Structures are given as C-alpha cells and as structure tokens.
Structure 1
Amino acid sequence: MDYEGEGKPEIVLVHGANVGSWCWFKVRAALEDKGYKVTAVDLLGMGRDGTPVDQITSVATFAKPLIDHLASTSNKVILVGHSLGGVSISFAMELLPEKVSKAVFVTACMPGNNQSASDTFPPDLFSGMVAKGVSTLKYANGPSSLPTSFDVNISAVAEYIFNESPKELTGLGLSLMRPNPFVPMVEPLTLTKEKYGSIRRFYIVAQEDRLFTPDAYQKPVIEKNGPVEQVFYVEGSDHCIFFSKPKELTELLIRIAAL
C-alpha cells in the first residue's frame, strides 16, 4: 500500500478545459468517504478563480494554483489530470517531481517532450470543433495575434462530452462551463526523463469518449508518449468520466493508490 505518514496518500484532482474543480464533486466525496485526503484545484481563471482568462499567457501561470498547492505539501501526492488537465499535471511533474508519487491521466492529453496539447491531437480534432461551431476562439489582442481563449457552444458540445452522462449532471455541467485560456493548447512543454520521466504513470481510457476517441487519440497517445505502467479501460464512459462513471473512476483511483 502507498501511504504517506500515518494516512493514505493525498489525491490531487486537476480539471480539464472549460470546467473547474466542481466537476469532481462525486469522485471527491466518494474518495473522502474512503478516508483519502482529496484536493480539487481550480486552475487560474477557472471555477471560482476570477482571473480574466485572456490575460493568462503561459502554462506556468495557468497551473500556478496547482504548483502552489504542491509546494505547500509535505508528502508526495497522487496527481490526477482529466482531458486538458494532462498538460497541467505534466508541467507540475517536471517542475516538482519530488512532490508526486504517481500520475493518472484520465482520458487526458499526455504530451511528450517539446510537445503542446495540440501537437498530440489528430489534425482535425480542435480545428474541426471550431469549424463546426462547437468551440469558438477569442482574440483579445486582435485578429492578427494568437487566440487568447476558447469557449464552447453549449447547444453543441453535449454530444461530444456528455453522451453517456445522466441528464441532471449534463445540465449542471453545461450551466457551469466557461471560457478557457488558449495557451495550454499550444505551449510546448519541456519534459525530461530525470524529472517527469521518474514518476509512475497510469492512463484511464474512456471507451465511449467522442472527443478524445480511444482509437484516434487515447490509444495512440499512450503508444507514442508512454510508457505508462498500466492502462485501465472504463466501458460506457464518455469524455466526462467523473459524471458518466464516477463509481468506476473512484474505484480505479483507489486501486492505483494501492499499487
């Protein structure tokens, strides 16, 4: 068993794009009921953090709440990143490897060295979402500059990320989604074997994910940017596995904590 001091290891949950720490509420409660200390962070500009997203210009700035939390801990934690949250946990693993015992990528971006999140995508993944009007870009610095943030079309996004989730949770999620800084999509990360590569990695595949589909994204990114110690598959799960299969996700996190 992987214990820190006299208790179980802290599990730190990191959300993906356009959401906040609120997305983990079912998983967080279930883990806490099992005796785990759980921290769900709001990345800068997300959730309850009021920082204007168009002013966030680096992954380091975006991930600062996560880095600040890790810097304050005395024991190693288990980092869990969902979707675009894989970028933030990768950045944290490289910066503070001594604070992380294991990392769990939950249907998540898992960049390699000198890669951005978008570098790991199939060519038409994000551009296709924009072309279909599912995602929209904002250019706060003018149309000749890079986008500064991206938002989702509430009427169109549900079929991609909540296709297996209960209606009441889908409604909750759609009501709380907000714009996300653009920089975590396009800033390459420096990830070294000595730091990032020293941490045990696990990957959870959502089998019914229509955004990061298993065959087009999840399995290829594991093959290209692994190795990971173990891959777990959750049947009947959409992209928002914390809503569609919270019990199964919780059980897997507990299982990984004990490995």
Structure 2
Amino acid sequence: MNPFLLLIVGFLMAHSGFSQSTKRTFVLVHGQWHGAWCWNKVVPLLQGGGHQAISFDIPGFGQDQTPTEQVSFEECVEKVVKEVQAQPGMVWLVGHSSSGLVIAQAAERLGKEKVEGLVFLDAFLPRDGESVFSLSEKFAGPAGPPLQKALIVSTDQKTISLNPAMVRELLYNDCTEEDLQYALARLRPGPLSVLATPVRLTQQNYGSIPKYYILCTKAKDMDKSTLSKNVSCREIIELPASHSPFFSMPDNLVEVLNRLGR
C-alpha cells in the first residue's frame, strides 16, 4: 500500500471507535444475595467489544467459602480494592444494588488516579455516613421499600435472606423462567453488616470521581428515581428493565456501559 495511505489509515484507526484507547476495564460488583454468576451474560458481551470485564464473588457470596455471618462490610470493600489494584490501568467500577456502597467505599480508597468512573446499576448511591438501611428509610419512607416484605433476618441478627416465593415479582419480573430458576439455585443469605454499615467518604476522593446512574424503570424492589439524585451524577440513564437487567436485557446494558462518558 502507498505509504501515504498507510499513514491515513493509521491516523483513522487511532482516532476511531476501534482505537485501543477506547477499550475499558470494567470491574463488575454483584449485590446482596448474588454472586459473580449474575454477570454471566454481560462479561462475554463486554469482552466481545474488546473490553476487559472482571467479575468475582465478594466474601460470603457465590462460591466464596467465608462464613456469611462473619463477613464485614470492610472485607467486601477490601476484595474490590484488591481486584482493582490487580489491573494494570484505570478501571470503571460497576456496582449493582447494595454494592453501590461497596464501590463507593472502594473508590474512596483507590482515588481518581485508579477509578475512571463509578457506575451505579439500580444501586444505592450514598453520601458520607449513609448505609443501605439509612438510604432505604430516607427514600422509601417509614414503610420501607417493597423488597422489605421479602426479607428474612436470622435469629442471631447476623444474616439476611430472601423469601424465594417473592423474588420473581421483586427482582426478576421481566426475566425468563430459565433465568429465574438459575438465580434461585444460586441465591445465598447475605451478611447484615453489608446493609447496616455506613460509608466514610470525602469530596477529595469519592467526590472527585465521575458518577453515572443506570435507573431500571421497571424495578419493583424499590423506586429509586429520587435515590438516583442523592449524589450528583454526570448522567442518569433510564433502562426499561427490572432490577436484574444483566439477565433480561444484557445487550442494552452493555450498550449503555459502552457509551458512558463518550
């Protein structure tokens, strides 16, 4: 090929959507009761687009063997921090549901030098000093969110589980029967500490990292339309999905992730 044409092609590749510089590392953090398994449809789609997609079980969930009743919020944060630090460049942290607080606290420790963006996937979006429980009360009122009626607290007050007869309605209302059964076979009780522990955040660290909120408008666990504005986000994107878009519309979810910050 003509050397001049080679130069033009190289320039276009370097400045197009196919440039390696547009590829990202997404660290996907599941929420309460779930595990890395909930990202099984999302990971290959991200990887197929040339991105890195990292998913894992936080302590006490999925295939992790840590006794659930012994898991602390800090252990979950530490797991995320270690996974992020193992990546060579900057990352996008994606937290689902209760793990909005986990990624917020992890970002506080990692800083904007490591975290390019925070993505709250129908998640709890905290300010300093807030917890999942306090945010639920703040935005759902004294009666609590609809999900509250499905919660089962252990007698020792250390773990919390879900009534399996109610999870379709509250978490998977637009998912297939196959996805529902897949989830039911894998849901585990979660540590109460993850929901009760308040985050400690600063404007200098957490506050300086760009935030994006993906609001699932068909979610029935809790209306998060006001919660999504608890902290200023660069963008709030509405997705017509249940609380589990990683099952019901993974392609749409990945499309949103692809264009964040563009």
TM-score of the superposed pair, with normalisation by structure 2: 0.87
Q: Residue 259 of structure 2 is aligned with which of 250, 255, 258?
A: 255
Q: Does 1:9 align with 2:24?
A: yes
- Tell me the alpha carbon deviations over residues 105-125 of structure 1, each in whole angstroms, 9 at most, x when there is no partner: 010011111111111112333
- Equivalent of residue 36 in structure 1, options 51, 54, 73: 51
- Within 1, Cα distance between the matches of 2:121 and 2:246? 10
Work out which of the residue numbers 175, 181, 197 in structure 2 matches 1:187: 197
- Seen in structure 2, the aligned counterparts of structure 1 residues 245 and 5 have a Cα distance that, compared at 3 Å, is closer
- 1:157 paired residue number: 167
Return the offset for 1:138.
Answer: 1.4
User: Unaligned regions of 5+ residues in structure 2, if any?
Assistant: 1-15
> Cα gap change, 1:177/1:91 in structure 2, threshold over 3 Å: closer, same or farther?
same
2:40 is paired with a residue of what secondary structure?
helix
Distance 1:30 1:129, change over 3 A: closer
Larger Cα-atom Rg: 2
Q: Paired residues, what number? A: 242
Whole-angstrom CA distance in 2 between matches of 1:51 and 1:106: 26
Superimposed CA distance per residue, residues 206-225 of structure 1 (whole angstroms, 9 cap, x where no aligned partner): 01000022xxxx221122x2
Query: In 2, Cα distance between the equivalents of 1:81 and 1:181?
Result: 17
How many Å separate the matches in 1 of 2:19 and 2:70?
A: 37
CA distance, structure 2, for counterparts of residue 62 and residue 4 of structure 1: 34
Residue number among 210, 232, 237 corresponding to 1:232 in the alignment:
237
Is 1:54 matched with 2:69? Answer: yes
Stretches of structure 1 lacking an aligned partner (at least 5 in a row): 141-146
Quick check: 1:125 aligned with 2:135? no
In 2, Cα distance between equivalents of 1:209 and 1:149: 24
**Whole-Å separation in 2 of the counterparts to 1:124 and 1:4:** 50
Q: Is the contact made by 2:78 and 2:106 (CA closer than 8 Å) also made in structure 1? A: no
Amino acid at match of 2:154: K
The answer on whether the counterparts of 1:44 and 1:63 sit within 8 Å (CA) in structure 2 is no
- Identical aligned residues as a percent: 29
The alpha carbon displacement at 1:152 in A equals 0.9
Which amino acid is the alignment partner of residue 8 of structure 1? K
Report if the CA contact (8 A) 1:73-1:99 is conserved.
Answer: no
Indicate the SS of the match to 1:108. Answer: coil
